[in-house]
Chains A and B, each alone.
Chain A
Amino acid sequence: MDWLTTVDHKKIAILYLVAGGFFFGIGGIEALLIRVQLAKPMNDFVSAQQFNELITMHGTTMIFLGVMPVIFALMNAVIPLQIGARDVAFPFLNSLGFWTFLFGGLLLNLSWFMGGAPDAGWTSYTPLSTNAYSLTHGVDFYTIGLQIAGLGTLIGGLNFLATIITMRAPGMSFMRMPMFTWTSFVTSAMILFAFPAVTVGLVLLTFDRILGANFFEVSKGGNPVLWQHIFWIFGHPEVYILILPAFGVISEVISTFSRKRLFGYSSMVFATILIAFLGFMVWAHHMFTTGLGPVANALFSIATMLIAVPTGIKIFNWLFTMWGGQIRFTTANLFAAGFIPTFVMGGVTGVMLASAPADYQYHDTYFVVAHFHYVIVGGLVLGLFAGLHYWWPKMFGRILSEKLGKIEFWTFIIGFQLTFFVQHFLGLIGMQRRVFTYLPNQGFDLMNLISTIGAFLMGVGVIVFLVNIGITSRKPVGAANDPWDDGRTLEWSIPSPPPEYNFKQIPLVRGLDAFWKEKAAGHTEMTPSEPVGPIHMPSPTILPFVMSLGIFIAGLGFMFTSDDFGNSFLNFIFNNYIVTGLGLAVTFGSMLLRSLFDDHGWHIEEDELNGKGVKA
Chain B
Amino acid sequence: MTTPHAQQTTDTIPHELEKATLEGRNKVLTFWLFLGGESVLFGTLFATFLTLRNQVADGPSASELFNLPMTAAATFILLVSSLTSVFAIQAMHRGNKKSLSGWLSVTVLLGLAFLILEIYEFREYMVHEDYSMTTSAFSSAFYTLVGFHGAHVLFGILWIGILIGQLAKKGLNVVTAPKIYVSAMYWHFIDVVWVFIFTVVYLLGKVA
A residues near B (Cβ < 8 Å) are 89-90, 154, 158-159, 161-162, 165-166, 192-197, 199-201, 203-204, 207-208, 211-215, 217, 219-223, 226, 230, 233, 534, 536, 588, 592, 595-596, 598, 600
Contacts and interface: CB of A to CB of B under 8 A. Distances in A.
Contacts of A212: 133-134
A162 B33 contact: yes
A166 B144 contact: no
B140 A207 contact: yes
Listed from nearest, the 7 A-B pairs whose CB atoms lie closest are A221-B55, A221-B137, A213-B140, A196-B41, A200-B44, A196-B40, A212-B134
Contacts of A162: 26, 29-30, 33
Interface in B32-89: 33-34, 36-38, 40-41, 44-45, 48, 51-52, 55-57
A221 B26 contact: no
Interface in B131-157: 133-141, 143-144
Given A213-B133, A215-B137, A166 B56 contact: no
B41 to A, nearest CB: 4
Contact of B44 (A197, A213, A217, A595): A197
B63 to A, nearest CB: 16
A196 B55 contact: no
B123 interface: no
Interface of B: 1, 4, 22, 25-26, 29-30, 33-34, 36-38, 40-41, 44-45, 48, 51-52, 55-57, 133-141, 143-144, 158, 162, 166, 170, 175, 179
A154 B52 contact: no
Contacts of A233: 44
A220 B136 contact: yes
Give the interface SS of chain A, mostly helix, strand, loop or mixed: helix
A600 B5 CA distance: 10
B137 A195 contact: no
B55 A192 contact: no
Nearest to A217: B137
A193 B166 contact: no
Contacts of A200: 41, 44-45, 48
A63 to B, nearest CB: 20
A207 B139 CA distance: 12
Instruction: Select the residue from A219, A222, A596 with max chain B CB neighbours within 10 A.
Output: A222
A213 B144 contact: yes
Contacts of B52: 215, 221-223, 226
A223 B55 contact: yes
A357 B30 CA distance: 44
B144 A223 contact: no
Contact of A166 (B26, B135, B158, B162): B26
Contact of A215 (B4, B41, B56, B141): B141
Given A214-B134, A215-B48, A215-B52, A598 B144 contact: no
24 contacts: A89-B30, A158-B30, A158-B37, A159-B30, A162-B29, A162-B30, A195-B37, A207-B140, A208-B140, A212-B133, A213-B133, A214-B57, A214-B136, A215-B137, A220-B55, A220-B134, A220-B135, A221-B52, A221-B138, A223-B137, A230-B48, A595-B162, A595-B179, A598-B175
